[in-house]
Amino acid sequence: MPAKKLKIGVVGCGAIGSRIAYSVKKELKNCCQLTGIYDIDIRKVEELQKKLKLKNIAKSSLEELIRNCDCMIEAVNAKNTKTIIKKALMSKKSVLAMSVGKLLNAADLFRLAQKNHTHLLIPSGAIAGIDAIKAASLKTVKKLTLTTRKPPRGLKDNPYLVQKGFDLENIKKETVLFDGNVNEAVKCFPQNINVAATLAMASHLKTKLRIRILTSPRYKTNSHEIEMAGDFGTLITRTENVPCPDNPKTSYLAVLSGIQTLKQYCLGLSIGT
């Protein structure tokens, strides 16, 4: 047990931020405490504070939340996500980032965290094998592919698919929606493919990583399959993820991964590579 409970602030009171806030209050109460929640939608803040049955945690600004925490949870996935994270790091506060796709080309934020002796925490998300991938990437890797399969409802209203003319409601068989590099994947599917960014950053093989996204009315879960081959041998992992009950665009495992990452950080415990 840590000698002192870490103070946690949550930015973003949507499905993911709310679930993490509940976990801080309940499952993680022995190692940390929720000291602040913030969202640009004040109604969400007030509703979450009421549901949590906690007083004085609703903050009126991002700056106020940062002042009152040791570690900030980012769960907003907005255009200014990087700015939000940067403000916390500049205040020498650690950050757990759930919108991993926003960090794909953000080496400056990692340098800032290192400079200020803080932590920028990246959960494994809805994929398995990140520990082995990090180790294997120390030597030559010949192949790295991520194939993501999602039911049509999990891709509803995606601007890229609308632009390309995909009619998700009338797809009758397995259909390839995207086949390209990780930069394009994160840009075209910002709500659905954080795992691609996580894989790219963990492996340091952004230019070699190939992303494929498929859909079919037969799919009932969000699945991610990784194939890797190199000097270490061969790795194949596959996760069949249940959609988050509050947000079908997010895998439940991704939320649980964030909670586990926070738990390890608060306890000062690290298991795996």
Q: Specify the pLDDT at position 230.
A: 97
SS3 state at 42: helix
Dihedral, CA atoms, 22, 14, 74, 43, nearest 10 degrees?
A: -100
All domains in the chain, ordered by first residue: 6-122+253-267 (3.40.50.720), 130-241 (3.30.360.10)
Helix ranges (H only) for 123-236 are 130-136, 159-164, 182-188, 194-203
Q: Specify the pLDDT at position 245.
A: 82
Phi and psi at residue 50, in whole multiples of 5°?
-65, -45
Left (φ > 0), alpha (ψ -120 to 50) or beta: where does 165 sit?
left
Q: How far apart are CA 62 and CA 10, in angstroms?
A: 10
Model confidence, pTM: 0.92
Phi and psi at residue 235, in whole multiples of 5°?
-130, 135
Q: How far apart are CA 156 and CA 83, in angstroms?
A: 28
Q: For the chain, which ranges sit under pLDDT 70?
A: 1-3
Q: How far apart are CA 101 and CA 234, in angstroms?
A: 26
The pLDDT tens digits for 38-53 are: 999 999 999 999 999 9
Q: Specify the pLDDT at position 124.
A: 95
Q: How far apart are CA 240 and CA 242, in angstroms?
A: 7
The pLDDT tens digits for 220-258 are: 888 999 999 999 999 999 999 988 887 777 789 999 999
Per-residue burial over 184-197, b if 16 or more Cβ lie within 10 Å, else e, is ebbebbbbbbbbbb
Q: Specify the pLDDT at position 247.
A: 75
Q: How far apart are CA 153 and CA 210, in angstroms?
A: 24
Contact 187, 102 (CB under 8 A): no
Q: Specify the pLDDT at position 103.
A: 94
Q: Specify the pLDDT at position 58.
A: 97
Q: Specify the pLDDT at position 139.
A: 97
Q: How far apart are CA 253 and CA 240, in angstroms?
A: 9
Contact 93, 31 (CB under 8 A): no
Residues involved in catalysis? 224
Contact 193, 130 (CB under 8 A): no
